[in-house]
Amino acid sequence: MTPIPFSPAAGARFLSNGHLRVLVSAAGTGATDLGEHALTRWQGDPVEDGDGYFIYLRDLDSGEFWSVGAQPCTAAGARYGFGSDDGGAWLTCRHLGIEARLDIVVAPESDVELRTLTLRNTGTRTRRIEVTSYLEVVLNKREAEAAHPAFSKLFVQTESVPASGAVLARRRPRGAGEECIWLVHAASGGEEAGIETDRKRFIGRGRSLAAPAALATSEPLSGTAGNVLDPSFSLRRNVTLAPDANAVIAFTLGAAGNRDAALALLASAPSPELAARTAGERRAALLTALALDTEQAAYAEALAAAILYGESALRAPGDARVSGDAVPDELGLPKERVLCVVHAIGARDPHAQALLDAARYWEALALPLHLVLVGAAADWPGLQGPVTLLDPMQVLSADLERISAQARMVVKGELPDFAPRASILRPPRPPQRKHAQDDAEPAPLQFFNGDGGFSSDGKEYVIRLAWDGATGLSRPPLPWTNVIANEQVGVLVSETGAGTTWSRNSREHRLTPWFNDPVRDPHGEALYLRDEDDGSWWSPMPGPAPAAAGYEAVHGFGYTTFRHASYGFEQECTVFVPRHDPLKIVRIRLRNTDARSRTLSLFSFQQLVLGATADSARHICTTWDAGVLLATNRMAGPFADGVTFAALVAPPASASFHSADRAAFIGPQGTTARPAALGEARLDGRTGPGLDPCAAFQARLTIAAGEQVEFAVLLGETTSSEDAQALVRRYRSGAAVDQALLEVRQFWLDTVGAIEIATPVPAIDLMVNGWLAYQNLSCRIWGRSAFYQSGGAFGYRDQLQDASALIYTLPEMTRKQICLHAAHQFVEGDVLHWWHPAPLEKGMRTRFSDDLLWLPYITAFYLKSTGDWSVLDEVEGFLSAPQLEDGEDEVFLQPQATGVSADVYEHCCRALDRSLTKGAHGLPLMGTGDWNDGMSRVGREGRGESVWMGFFLFRIISDFLPACEKRGDSARIDAYSAYRDHLAGALNGDGWDGAWYRRAFYDNGAVMGSSQSDECQIDALAQAWAVISGAAPEERAQMALDAMEERLVADHDGLIRLLTPPFVHTVQDPGYIKGYVAGVRENGGQYTHAACWAVRAVAEAGRNERAAQLLEMLSPISHTLTPEAVARYQVEPYVIAADIYGAEPHVGRGGWTWYTGSAGWAYRVALESVLGFTLVGGAAIRIKPVVPAAWPRFSIRYRLPDGATSYHIEVINDAIGDGALVVAASLDGQEAPIEGGAAMIPMKADGAAHRVVIVLRAA
């Protein structure tokens, strides 16, 4: 038999009633599912195996705590057991004089899981024991939750039901027909001692389930329920046990289709004894019907668990993974089930028959497994159950190879065998040494808030993580990250050193995993140092295993540096991506501050995935070649040509070792915080197919007293092993690493420093002078990924807007982006909503009404700014794909080239031509969204209208008509002008509500954004664009802004809400926006993208004082000035957030950061709308500020894209109140022209440094 060494699947049981099924392992881990939906979180990681529904015990007198199962909190000296019978399974634990038994059973007649905990005090004194349950709520399909956990969680609400001793959770539906599941969890017995449904509060930031905050302190559970953002369930009961006394606590977990039915489960659920007896009878009857004995059934369950865990020993050999092509549909294999392949050796092959029997059993257990039997059709007639027979004489061998490559299990001959479950042995970590703290006063930081602050020049953000003997290393409330990228590869790194690395596509082709877990911030990449004299080990970065001393994390433009001193070493690690090469480098510098030589080992660990999720790792094959670890994934589809390479560059005197076996490095049920490899003398050197892959290195070196040594960890991807080796050879030189870092820093300083401003508001200056531009280019345009969202794709509207912010510094990139988007337009004029670039070239065709219009809008802005009319002559092709069917909202597809091309002018016009629609109120049709994707059903039936789209089109037509006039396109000039005139009437007719502008009209004619609306009575988007478009008469424009100020701007919260009230109970169906909990993202929070437009509108309306105030309010610095403010806002102070939550209990909390179009717009609004800086035709700088009277002066230094010419602009403000005009302007001492109250400064790239002085006075 194929031996499977340690496996969490060994002895695992599935308890099922045919609907509800529970996986429970011998360690107490597992999952609960209802049909296709996961009720609890389970990642199926066969190495760490840390997910499940757990019960913790805590001694209330000593404070010591442990778990009933070996996971997640193994107690030293505890004795754990696991057993099962037909009726259920049980865990046992004996520790500190307490015997615990947890019986687990699934009720046969209802979707209820019953867990009964029996405690006995075997000691001689009375004990007070606290019992706490814990599970993470999902209520989604596993694959959907795994793809984007943070997004999935935003739709879940929890509720406390004290009368029932229960908590509830439900997923707010995104769609009208979406299935709703309510999850209920209740406890009885003992004394009720609290509930918790907020995962962050239970675990604690940066902690783990091995030592959660809820158990590590004596604080009670917080009782939090409602819109918790990251849901979990915990119920707490206290018991007092006299010597030899017993106590029973009963936990119930159930699922139903509505709230009442979920609560009714608590009353109707059978007793645990009855449920176990009935379940046992049913299982026995089932096994009899299937002709299986209990041993065969147990093996089938363990095998199913191993398949779902993805055990590497079950997979096809590496040489069988020859193609990433999809399995042909005509073979009839189900796409939603896990495939298992068995090759039959003749008729009545006993191993094949055993798996056929197992498959029928799996079907009865409702497991998502499907067996593919490869054998002669004549030998296997009349197969039943989840089985497909493929005759090798009738199916192409290449197709059989594809099936085997995609299967989780391939059997040829003997069946897999499970080795006995070994005890978990984790390397004991030597006691932490106490390290002397540096008494020197740290360098002062700008806007230091207790966690971090800006460097003196504002180009770095410095995070100080202090060590506390009681609580460990301090951390910000949420990960404070950096996104470092070039055009080919990128890195996400948090303040602890955790993060991910990608190549070519940040979603579809990650080299290391993206975890999307802001609570734990796990490490898929890590560094360790080990003292070879005494075995002490720690991380030179703040995670995953910090030393007992403080750390400093410094995020800069294009790099992050960590500094730390402990164990007699000064340690510095710098993470960066070279400017042009496809790799990530971590440079490590160590200096021995002891008076004696020291021998250390440096360990580097990188978990490899080479795909979108960790499941991709099962196809990876690793090899060792001349000091470089190479990894390939032949099942990576269009990325299968990739050769991932990893290497550790160490001083020549080092002894070096490696391993590609994650299971060996981490150890069974281990973690990166305590990997098994740190307890071994050297890494094992394993490579090859069939491993749980990683790139792990060890370099052992003796470092003399006072000596400094340097290492470099390299991770990247090429398309050949020769290119990989060449890159590694280049960077084996420390000088090459240092030079690459120098080039990166200089590139970013030159790029983001091309414009620098100095105003009386440093919170604005710091963001404009680098951070917004860096966020826009590194994250939005190149990386297209961040901690909370990892898209990888180009959004049609998104990156066009982002590229517009490059107009001042990298205009050639703006031009390139315009052409790229023109090439992703269908011949009918509509466009791909988003697409993955080459080599995928797949995207989403939708009915969104605004996407296509951003092409003429941004093109017009480019023309106006640069005067580069030649862009209109660039020729790009059109795409072709099947049009959407009736009732079809969107399709993910691979479009084809049509062979039809046109210039950019024609592409822009086709977008406009398609958009000149009119509904019943004369307004443009909304389709399934109009910038606000969440309003997906306002106009789904084709009748809904968008007021905002009317304003948007009005502005686009006004801006684009000069292009039509230059082309002499009289027909379009007439059509566009007539439509614009029509819009002016419609917008100020049915679009006007009496005190502000409405937002939209539903398909049924109901109005959105009206005083008569029950929810969403006013939307900022419509009010802002009424002004920006120029379509609103002056009086109405001012009224609209007044209403926005009154209803949507909250100075005390620092918010400009998108709309109010949020969608919660309305009878109208606006779309999936209503699925978000109130106040989150577009549903009543600040959506910063739109908030930028609100500031732009206020500035364009001449409200000088208010525009600057609101701009300062948008700065993340304004939300993080004090420790209290940081605790509220939580996210990074140096990059802008896509959203800020707008409803209790999360008012003022930052949402998703980094990956947001608001970075580019905040940059533009600050420069253009408030400081009044724009370019005119590439020939002049126009300055018309809208600044407060309290600003005596400000300056702008602009370096032209030629890199040599600069303009230093000094603006002197003598104005009082709103409405300032330029009254004097000079260029190099000579008078400069003034037009319409704006200075017009002639501009040319002559390599000189020019000085401009401008004077403002009241209008």
Taking only the tens place, the pLDDT of each residue in 46-62 is 999 999 999 999 999 99
Instruction: Say whether domain 452-547+580-672+680-749 belongs to CATH 2.70.98.40.
Output: yes
Tokens linked to 486: 């070039």
1140-1154 tens-digit pLDDT: 999 999 999 999 999
Model confidence band, residue 320 (pLDDT cutoffs 50, 70, 90): very low
Nearest to 425 by CA among 669, 647, 85: 669
Q: Which range is least confidently modeled, 220-229, 330-339, 537-546, 793-802? A: 330-339
Element (H, E) at 443: none
Q: Which residues pair with 319 in a beta bridge?
A: none
Of the chain, the end-to-end C-alpha distance in Å amounts to 90
Choose between 330 and 553: higher pLDDT.
553
Instruction: Please give the pLDDT value at position 773.
Output: 98
Report the candidate in 678, 185, 642 with the shortest Cα–Cα distance to residue 429. 678
Mean pLDDT of the chain: 95
What would the pLDDT profile of 837-894 be if each residue is shown by its tens digit?
A: 999 999 999 999 999 999 999 999 999 999 999 999 999 999 999 999 998 999 999 9
Q: How many beta carbons lie within 10 A of that of residue 67, not counting itself? A: 29
Cβ density class 956-984: b for 16+ within 10 Å, e for less: bbbbbbebbeebebeebeebbeebbebbb
pLDDT in tens, 696-750: 999 999 999 999 999 999 999 999 999 999 999 999 988 999 999 999 999 999 9
Over its C-alpha atoms, the chain yields an Rg (Å, rounded) of 32
Name the token pair of 581: 């090469």
Helices of type H across 992-1060:
1020-1029, 1034-1047
User: How large is the average pLDDT for residues 377-385?
Assistant: 87
Distance CA(616)–CA(524), nearest Å, equals: 15
Question: Rounded to an integer, what distance in angstroms lies between the CA atom of residue 1222 and that of residue 1257?
Answer: 7
Helix (H, G, I), strand (E, B) or coil at 72: coil
Q: Give the pLDDT score at 259.
A: 96
Long-range contacts: 395-400, Cβ < 8 Å, 24+? 395/331, 398/322, 398/323, 399/327, 399/328, 399/331, 400/374
Q: For residue 801, is pLDDT > 80?
A: yes
Q: Compute the distance between CA of residue 682 and CA of residue 692 in angstroms, rounded to an integer.
A: 19
Confidence of residue 1220 (pLDDT cuts 50, 70, 90): confident
Question: Which of the four pLDDT bands, split at 50, 70 and 90, describes residue 511?
Answer: very high
Structure tokens at 596: 């004696």
Which of 531, 525, 535, 527 is CA-nearest to residue 569? 531
| Look-up of token digits 């939090």 | 224
**Beta partners for residue 834, in sequence order:** 795, 844
Predicted pLDDT of residue 623: 98
Residue 437: pLDDT band with limits 50, 70, 90: low
Report the CATH fold assignment for 1172-1258.
Answer: Maltose phosphorylase, domain 3 (2.60.420)
pLDDT at position 1197 over 90: yes
Average pLDDT score over residue span 664-687: 95
Half-sphere exposure of 1156 (CA within 13 A, CB side): 27
Query: Is the pLDDT reported for residue 3 higher than 60?
Result: no
Q: CB count, 10 Å around CB of 1184?
A: 22
Q: Domain segments of the chain: what residues?
A: 2-290, 294-418, 452-547+580-672+680-749, 788-914, 916-1038, 1048-1170, 1172-1258
916-1038 shares its CATH topology with 1172-1258:
no
Find all residues with CB under 8 Å of 733, minimum gap 6, and list them.
none
What's the fold here for domain 916-1038?
Answer: Glycosyltransferase (1.50.10)
Per-residue pLDDT tens for 271-307? 999 999 999 999 999 999 999 999 999 999 999 999 9
Nearest to 856 by CA among 924, 815, 905, 915: 905
Q: CATH assignment of 2-290, given 3.40.50.620, 2.70.98.40, 1.10.3720.10, 3.30.70.660?
A: 2.70.98.40
Cα distance between residue 1057 and residue 29, in whole Å: 42
- Name, in order, each residue with C-beta under 8 angstroms of 27's C-beta and a sequence gap of 6 or more: 8, 49, 69, 70, 71, 80, 82, 424, 669
Edge-first strand listing for the sheet containing 460-465: 452-454, 460-465, 551-556, 559-566, 569-576, 583-592, 708-718, 643-649, 628-633, 620-625
What value does the mean pLDDT take over residues 259-265? 96
Residue 721 is predicted with a pLDDT of 97
Region 926-944 average pLDDT: 95
Cβ proximity of 1049 and 1063 under 8 Å? no
* DSSP states along 80-108: EEEEEETTEEEEEEEETTEEEEEEEEE-S
Alpha-carbon gap, residue 1248 to 1225, rounded angstroms: 19
pLDDT in tens, 578-604: 999 999 999 999 999 999 999 999 999
* 150, burial (CB in 10 Å: exposed 0-12, middle 13-18, buried 19+): middle
> What pLDDT does 122 receive?
96
pLDDT of residue 1216 exceeding 90, the answer is no
**619 by DSSP, 3-state: which?**
helix
pLDDT at 326: 72
pLDDT of residue 174: 83
pLDDT at 428: 58
What does the alpha-carbon distance between residue 107 and residue 17 come to, in Å, rounded to a whole number?
7
The whole-angstrom distance between residue 1222's C-alpha and the CA centroid of its chain comes to 46
For the record, the structure tokens of 34 come out as 């209802």
CB 1095 within 8 A of CB 1114: yes
Mean pLDDT of 985-997: 98
Helices 1088-1100 and 1020-1029 meet at what angle, rounded to 10?
40
Beta bridge partners, 880, equal: 896
Per-residue pLDDT tens over the stretch 1230-1239: 999 999 999 9
Give me the residues paired with residue 66 across strands: 57
pLDDT average, residue stretch 1114-1131:
98
Residue 1009 neighbours by CB distance under 10 Å: 25
In DSSP notation, 469-530 reads TTTEE---SS--EEEEE-SSEEEEEETTS-EEEEES-TTT-BSS-----TTT---SEEEEEE
Half-sphere exposure of 345 (CA within 13 A, CB side): 8
Q: Are 212 and 67 a contacting pair, CB within 8 Å? A: no
